[in-house]
Amino acid sequence: MDRYAVFGHPVGHSKSPQIHAAFAAQTGQSLSYEAIDAPPDGFAEALRDFIEQGGRGCNVTVPFKDEAYRLADRCDALAGQAQAVNTLRVEPGGRLAGFNTDGIGLLRDLTQNLGLVLAGRRVLLVGAGGAAAGIVGPLLAAGIAQLVIVNRTPQRAGDLARRFAAHGPVRAAPLQAPGSGFDLVLNATAAGLGGRAPDLPVAVFSPETVAYDLVYGPAAGPFLALARQAGAGACHDGLGMLVEQAAEAFWLWRGVRPATAPVIAALRGA
């Protein structure tokens, strides 16, 4: 039985084992999938042990996406743009191929599951870490009118905007003065894991705004509560993105693309 895993810290809350078990059952694939909590300074060692014990591939979540990029022997274009990897595949000779499926997962959830049109929209991205970096390229490729990036550390927002300047209309702005009335506001910070919302001015929201947190469950609560109180027209967590990016990883590992709608529905029902 082929072995897969998700690495993170913390990772006990992850729904990825349930998702991949559902994908395997649906597609008739024989595999195991587990959550591995690696110490903050021990990801490389934990990954090496996993591979030595027969690991064929893994997902990577907070805080290891940047390190996974550095450890990969080769990366696809999206991971190269983002300089962050959320999916690793073990190839012949033990070489590691790195991918970033976050942006693909987000766009599929926004457009296919939620029915949003992204072309021509003004988008605010809150955060400039690995999660944010993984979605900038796909958002710009979708034809949005403008992407504004804000971050608690302004330099990181500026660095990320400059990295993608040749790919579309993107700029950095101060956290407290990003502009107003965005069509889509994306929270890619980890503030919700600590029970906090990012310190945003309420003017970024309007009744036409869709607010979306890249995380799911209780961790998305503070940002979505802020958005609702500020009058956002629609609020969504990132459960659909999680399932969609997992489906892309599953395809990269197994060459089979699972159906995502029944898995999303089952997780929502639970």
- Hey, where are the domains in the chain? 2-100+240-269, 103-237
Reading across the β-sheet that carries 96-99, which strands appear in turn?
Answer: 31-37, 2-8, 55-60, 87-90, 96-99, 74-75
Catalytic residues: 65
Q: Annotation-wise, does 128 bind a ligand? A: yes
Task: Note the pLDDT of residue 270.
Answer: 85
Task: Note the pLDDT of residue 50.
Answer: 98
d(CA 229, CA 245): 30
Q: Annotation-wise, does 86 bind a ligand? A: yes
Q: Annotation-wise, does 245 bind a ligand? A: yes
Task: Note the pLDDT of residue 62.
Answer: 87
In this structure, what DSSP letter does residue 209 have?
Answer: P
b (16+ CB within 10 A) / e for 26-60: ebebebbbbbbebeeeebeebbeebbeeebbbbbb
Task: Note the pLDDT of residue 11.
Answer: 92
Question: Does this chain's domain 2-100+240-269 share its CATH topology with 103-237?
Answer: yes
d(CA 85, CA 54): 21
Least Cα distance to 23 among 49, 52, 59 occurs for 59
Task: Note the pLDDT of residue 268.
Answer: 94
Q: Annotation-wise, does 260 bind a ligand? A: no
Task: Note the pLDDT of residue 130.
Answer: 87
Task: Note the pLDDT of residue 193.
Answer: 82
Task: Note the pLDDT of residue 253.
Answer: 98
* Superfamily name with CATH number, domain 2-100+240-269: Leucine Dehydrogenase, chain A, domain 1 (3.40.50.10860)
CATH number of the 103-237 domain: 3.40.50.720
Q: Annotation-wise, does 12 bind a ligand? A: no
- For 230, the 3-state DSSP assignment is coil
Task: Note the pLDDT of residue 13.
Answer: 86
Residues lower than pLDDT 70 in the chain? none
Contact status, residue 86 vs residue 61, Cβ threshold 8 Å: yes
d(CA 84, CA 100): 7
Q: Annotation-wise, does 61 bind a ligand? A: yes
